[in-house]
Amino acid sequence: MSKILSNLTVIKAVISEAAKKSGRLAEDIKLIGVTKTIEPQRIRELLAASVYYLGESRVQEFLPKYEELQQPQPTWHFIGHLQRNKVKFVVGKVAMIHSVDNMPLAQEIDKRAKGAGIVMDCLVEINIAGEDSKHGLDPNLALSFVKELEELKNICVKGLMCIAPFVDNAEDNRIYFKKMHSLLIDINAHRTHNNSLTELSMGMSGDYAIAIEEGATMVRIGTALVG
């Protein structure tokens, strides 16, 4: 068994147990394999192991992989900070952008999506721990921002995303994942839009089990999967 397959077996077992604790099934959780710095040949190992959802965070690294990995075609997610001048290279190539946190960026995504004749699925990135080193919106501004985004016809907000602090003990991040789940519920309770936000993209290699226990629907796993 390859190292990736071995790692995947462990990860799937952890996801299944954590999902069970949250009253859900493993199938309710989307595993996004983070392929930053991972060469195409190793990404093909992920695809062969049926990991089809892949996350990239740098446009200049994503584009050559997108061109090379066409058969089979992965479902790409853009999970990193996205600059406005790079939006044109991403829209139409990824299934979802996880990192929308300001209106100029959202408007550029909306414009490019309209030009491509598509509606771009997005998540609003929240700086849930208020860290200066992280991008993302202040949680207190999330509801008003989501309402603003509803005016853009070529963006569909699906939920929220966060990058929790890097900690030695994953339990230390439970409080932030709880806050994210509560924030999602609160936003849905105060919106008038018909479609509820359902996605919570949170949890990485060190803390994804805790994130799932607290409501994550997507986990972004790199190191634990591919090293």
Q: DSSP assignment, residue 148?
A: H
d(CA 84, CA 82): 7
Mean pLDDT throughout 93-98?
A: 98
Residue 56 has pLDDT above 80, yes or no: yes
Residue 6 has pLDDT above 80, yes or no: yes
Q: Which amino acid is at 125?
A: E
Q: Can you give the CATH number for the domain in which 173 is found?
A: 3.20.20.10
pLDDT at position 187: 96
The pLDDT value given to residue 167: 95
Phi/psi-derived region of residue 136, left when phi > 0, alpha when psi is between -120 and 50, beta in every other case: left
pLDDT of amino acid 98: 98
Structure tokens at 213: 């226990």
Average pLDDT (168-192) is: 95
pLDDT value of residue 193: 75
Q: What is the mean pLDDT of residues 173-184?
A: 98
Q: Mean of the pLDDT values across residues 114-129? A: 98
Q: Are 106 and 114 in contact (CB under 8 A)?
A: no
- Please give the Cα distance from 169 to 153 (Å, whole number): 42
Global pTM value: 0.96
pLDDT per residue as tens digits for the range 193-217: 777 899 999 999 999 999 999 999 9
Q: How many domains does the chain divide into?
A: 1
Residue 167 is part of which domain span? 3-226
According to the model, what pLDDT value does residue 100 have? Answer: 98
pLDDT tops 60 at residue 1: no
